[in-house]
Structure formats: C-alpha cells, structure tokens
Amino acid sequence: MKKTKNPVIQHDIMRYKKNKLGANLALLGLVFGCVYFVVLYAQVKNGDYYYNWSLAFDVIYNLFFLLFVFLFSEQVKNYDRKLFILQIIVGALQIARIFWLPLGGITHTYIVGETEQTVITIGTFITMTVALACSGALIIVSAITGYIRSKNVEKFTQELENGQINLDEELRKEQPAGGEANA
C-alpha cells in the first residue's frame, strides 16, 4: 500500500534539494540553440547569402546566448528568480529569430547556372525553425518552473519563520508507531 507524502515534508525537502527540472530545461534549450547555429553555420553553398553583417551579429548573439542560458540554469537550480524577466525575453528572442535568418534563407533566391534556388532547403529551414522554437519554449518553461518553485520555497520558508508551520511536529507524524525513524 502506497503511503501519501506529507506536503510539509515535501516543501522542506525542496529547501535542500536543487531545482534540477528547471535547470535541465534551460540546458536542453541551450542544446537546441546549439543545433540551430550548427545547422546555420553549415550553410556555405548558398551564393554567400549569409556572409554579411547579420551572420557576424548572430555569432556575437550566440556567445551571449550561451553564457546567459547557462547563468539562467544556475539561477533556476538555486531557486533564484532575479533573472526571470530576462530569461523570458531570451526565450522569446529565440522564437523571434525564426523570422530573421531562417525565414530570409527560405524566401531569398539566387541563380546557379540557369536555375534559381532558395538559399536554404525546406529541410534546413524546418530543422532551424524547430530548433529555435524548442529552444525558446524550453527556456520559457524553465523560467516559469523556476519562478513557481522559488515562490513555493520562499512561502514555505516564510511560514516556518513565522511559526505557522511546526516542522518538528510534522516529522513526528511521519515516524512509525514504534517511534523509530525509517532509514
């Protein structure tokens, strides 16, 4: 028979346990961002469409993206929500990037011999679009998860400090009838 878990004990455990879910979601968003720029930077046979200031800006943006998302991951892991708004903005920017280089690559054409071709193939466009959408969504979900969990930990800590919750009493309720704690 499965024993129901005491919510007070579960909240207390959160104070000492890292928020791995939120942190890993941010890191997974980082991985999808890496997939996007690996695919983008592999586009060399396209009439030099991407070889201009926009690619240079994208390289610089990606450096900041990598640093910030790793920082977000660490912040979320430690129930710190100071960068919540910035994390939401970076997630939204990842989604907005779909409409810049990938969309430009699929809508722009160039001439090779006597044939007209798009800068990137539809498969490449879909890969970059899915990678950016997943990256942005995962970073936003990480921010929301981190925010909610940090508020729960903060509320629980405040209730403990105010005496609204007696942790010793809750722990005594969890002990078996013999009085010995489970190992």
Are 63 and 158 in contact, with CB atoms under 8 Å apart?
no
- How far apart CA 55 and CA 34 sit, in angstroms, is 15
What is the full per-residue pLDDT of the chain (183 aa) written as tens digits? 556 676 777 777 788 889 999 999 999 999 999 999 999 988 867 667 888 888 889 999 999 999 999 999 999 999 999 999 999 999 999 999 999 999 999 998 887 788 888 889 999 999 999 999 999 999 999 999 999 999 999 988 888 888 777 766 766 776 665 555 554
Rounded to two decimals, the pTM is 0.84
Query: 2, 4, 1: which is closest to 174 by C-alpha?
Result: 4
- How far apart CA 5 and CA 38 sit, in angstroms, is 45
- How far apart CA 134 and CA 136 sit, in angstroms, is 5
SS3 117: strand
Other beta carbons less than 10 A from residue 155's beta carbon:
11
